[in-house]
Structure 1
Amino acid sequence: MENEKELYTNLIPLLNCKDYTVSGDTFEVMQNQDYEMLVTSPVPADLENYYKSENYISHTDSKKSLFDKVYQKVKNHTLKQKLSLLNSFKTETKSVLDVGAGTGDFLKVCKNNSWETFGVEPSLDAKKIAETKGIFLESDLFEISNKKFDVITLWHVLEHVESLKKTIKTLKKLLKPNGRVVVAVPNYKSYDAKYYKEYWAAYDVPRHLWHFSQCSIHKLFSEVEMIVENTLPMKFDSYYVSLLSEKYKSGKSKPLKASYVGFVSNFKARSTSEYSSLIYVLKNY
């Protein structure tokens, strides 16, 4: 764990952020200048308990609230975009490992389009929902062996993993030559992050342990001899995150205000490339 420790050294306090989803607890978001990355502190010993909520939407197919409905509608649209990205990779075979597969929707779309699918998901509740869709998931990435994949995807997952460097090394090990890792994560350098500050919903403490910049992704993956081949925006994220952030900040849903902030964030990102969330396509040197 020595390599993990260096991510927690020489940290500078930046923000105090509240867990609005489960506990109401407050956590510090600290800056690691060496990696141009932010770190949540402390990491709770019972971290799994902070995922136990019906409001934790990536583990459910809920459509109860306005936020649920927006999330599910956007998810269905982005599934097609994600599949299109995978199909753009020219691979001799079509095997995909989805890490943090949730309720299995992405893998179901891949399976229906001739991809050989594998997945990892630690949440038992999410796995049960995935099984109803014919998607059967493993529980632990580190227990996968004797298998290599053309593509490994992590859709808003890397920010959750406790052993960040170990995870990145494992991804490299499980990748075929010329294979790709696709990572989607929030970007704390976006306009909406700077606007909402400690209320920015994508900090999502303590479930989000790491908060990445483009520089940090380049540096972390270069340490395992992988290069960023392409960086793509997730334009819907600025609207959804702003919708939640407005609620956290004012206690009220303000869809018009949130839509304006989301629009401004995307507009500014046209010149800065600092979108609310980014997809990184990473490839072996």
Structure 2
Amino acid sequence: MTDNPEWRPCPCAQPADESPVAWRPRLVFAARDYVTGDAFTVVECPQCGLVRTQPRLSAAALAKYYPKSYHGAAGARRFPSVVEWLQNCLYAGRAARVERAAGGRPGHVLDVGCGRGHLLRAFQRRGWQVAGTEIDRHTAELVRAETGADVRPGLLEAFAGADGGFDAVVLWHVLEHLHDPAQVLRDCARLLRPDGTLFVGVPDVRSWEARIGGNKWFHLDVPRHVTHFSRPVLRDLLGRAGFAVLAESSVAPEYDLFSFVQTMLNRLGLRHNILYNALRSGAARLFPMDATDWLQVLVSVLLAMPLSALFLPWMLATVILRCGATVAIIATKTSRLPGGGQTG
């Protein structure tokens, strides 16, 4: 099931003491995959603060936790039309934000883990030359056929040899799915031109919502989320990879309201992520639902109304105090890595 059943040193830490005691992780809590019910633990590195899902699964073992329904069926929507329309509006704003940070004009962008290509399309509409990667080969081929973009199966290795070839690289809610974020960020720096722009977004494991949710937090999503970031840890990783942070945000409209409501429903004892699963279009559902589940959906909808009313003051507080459930950072590639190494 795992590539090593023992706890492993954190790939991001740099302990002075290489003994096992120096990197032995601290247990945060036990958690279960809400789709399969399989048990995992969530641990924190004492050296760098990165939080990880254990045991660490091999790529082959992890693949079974991404069913074909994960990205939705070919030509079908994952969510109702109004939800996908709203998402596309937000993607358009996100592409515009990256463009402003990249100098205010279209360039060449790489969307790592592009999924169904919604953000790629937003960049295309702004005149960008777009490329993407997607682990799932079928999804990569589908997006390439639909958009005409250079979308390749895999991750950054799919563009080996394209050093300095991109004006912007996007890692939108992708980094948490990867075992070695430090190496991924270094690879992004290699692919970017000098002063290129990186846009990265991840759930914030130190947010108020995560602290209240614990192992019921909507964004925890073990084992698909193999690493879990806080704002300071992400900033540190970016700095060590050769990036300077330009801007930060703890607001992600397509996630914030729903993740708050679903987390609270989970804490109230309803089936984990039941409303999220119900909102996915039939073929895209992650687990089958029976009459009891649909009764819980009805209860969830009724509870969602008062919970949504509570969200406005909650959102204002988290924005002011910068402790929202997600963190998004725009960073620029610097000319040299810490310690004097070249980034590209």
Q: What TM-score does the superposition give when structure 1 sets the normalisation length?
A: 0.87
Alignment partners' CA distance in 1, 2:87 and 2:324: 18
- 1:72 matched to 2:84? The reply is yes
Q: How does 1:87-236 map to 2 (within 5 A)?
A: 87-89=99-101, 90=103, 94-130=107-143, 131-140=145-154, 141-144=156-159, 145-147=161-163, 148-232=165-249, 233-236=251-254
Question: Any idea what SS the aligned residue of 1:44 has?
Answer: coil
Contact 2:141 2:151 in 1 (8 A): no
Q: How does 1:16-35 map to 2 (within 5 A)?
A: 16-20=30-34, 22-35=35-48
Amino acid at match of 1:212: F
Range with bigger deviation, 125-134 or 26-35:
125-134
Q: Cα distance 1:208–1:53, how it changes in 2: closer, same or farther (>3 A)? A: same
Tell me the alpha carbon deviations over residues 217-274 of structure 1, each in whole angstroms, 9 at most, x when there is no partner.
1111111221211102214422121343345442232322542454344222133111
Amino acid at match of 1:4: P
Alignment partners' CA distance in 1, 2:83 and 2:152: 25
Alignment partners' CA distance in 1, 2:93 and 2:162: 30
Q: Cα distance 1:170–1:244, how it changes in 2: closer, same or farther (>3 A)? A: same
Alpha-carbon shift at residue 96 of structure 1 (Å):
0.4
Q: Cα distance 1:203–1:109, how it changes in 2: closer, same or farther (>3 A)? A: same
User: 2:263 maps to what in 1?
Assistant: 245
- 1:39 matched to 2:88? The reply is no
- 1:51 alignment partner, one of 62, 66, 72: 66
Alpha-carbon shift at residue 69 of structure 1 (Å):
5.9
Alignment partners' CA distance in 2, 1:195 and 1:247: 12
Q: Cα distance 1:201–1:52, how it changes in 2: closer, same or farther (>3 A)? A: same
User: 2:283 maps to what in 1?
Assistant: none
User: 1:15 maps to what in 2?
Assistant: 29
Q: Cα distance 1:3–1:171, how it changes in 2: closer, same or farther (>3 A)? A: farther
Range with bigger deviation, 138-147 or 115-124:
138-147
Q: Cα distance 1:203–1:59, how it changes in 2: closer, same or farther (>3 A)? A: farther
Q: Cα distance 1:17–1:129, how it changes in 2: closer, same or farther (>3 A)? A: same
Alignment partners' CA distance in 1, 2:106 and 2:305: 46
Alignment partners' CA distance in 1, 2:198 and 2:12: 24
Alignment partners' CA distance in 2, 1:2 and 1:13: 14
Question: Any idea what SS the aligned residue of 2:11 has?
Answer: helix
Q: Which has the larger radius of gyration?
A: 2
Question: Any idea what SS the aligned residue of 1:230 has?
Answer: strand
Tell me the alpha carbon deviations over residues 54-79 of structure 1, each in whole angstroms, 9 at most, x when there is no partner.
2x3588775576xx567524422211
User: 1:266 maps to what in 2?
Assistant: 315
Question: Any idea what SS the aligned residue of 1:162 has?
Answer: coil
Contact 1:235 1:277 in 2 (8 A): no
Range with bigger deviation, 208-217 or 141-150:
141-150
Q: Cα distance 1:121–1:258, how it changes in 2: closer, same or farther (>3 A)? A: farther
Q: Cα distance 1:237–1:214, how it changes in 2: closer, same or farther (>3 A)? A: same
Q: What TM-score does the superposition give when structure 2 sets the normalisation length?
A: 0.73
Q: CA RMSD in A?
A: 2.7
Range with bigger deviation, 208-217 or 263-272:
263-272
Alpha-carbon shift at residue 186 of structure 1 (Å):
0.6
User: 2:282 maps to what in 1?
Assistant: none
Tell me the alpha carbon deviations over residues 158-201 of structure 1, each in whole angstroms, 9 at most, x when there is no partner.
10112222211101100111111100101122222122211001
Alignment partners' CA distance in 1, 2:140 and 2:76: 15
Instruction: Kindly tell me the number of residue pairs found equivalent between the two proteins.
Output: 281
